[in-house]
Homo-oligomer: A and B are copies of this chain.
Amino acid sequence: MVEKTITLTGISANSIEDAVQLAVTRASVTITGIHSARVTNVEAEIENKRVVRWKVTVKCTFRVTESLHE
């Protein structure tokens, strides 16, 4: 049994949690079976003194079932 981990950054105007969900949703269009996402960086983009976007980097892990593209 082998798992693969990839690094994605979800970007959301709402919250840290929302940014994580966004990254997972996008990855799940083509990847089956992501089971965990570990947060490794949280960054806020600021415009006119306001946080306008949360950029949250996550390491997503999923079981390798079919061919592994590289």
Whole-angstrom distance from the CB of A68 to the nearest CB of chain B? 5
Taking CB atoms, residues of chain B closer than 8 Å to A1 are: 10-11, 22
Taking CB atoms, residues of chain B closer than 8 Å to A61 are: 9
Interface residues of A in 5-31 (CB under 8 A from B): 5-11, 15-17, 20-31
Contact A38 B41 (CB under 8 A): yes
A62 and B49 alpha carbons, distance in the complex (Å): 11
Contact B20 A17 (CB under 8 A): no
Question: Could you give, for residues 27-70 of chain A, a 1 whenever the CB lies within 8 Å of some chain B CB and a 0 otherwise?
Answer: 11111001111110111111101110011011111101001111
Contact B27 A35 (CB under 8 A): no
Contact A29 B70 (CB under 8 A): no
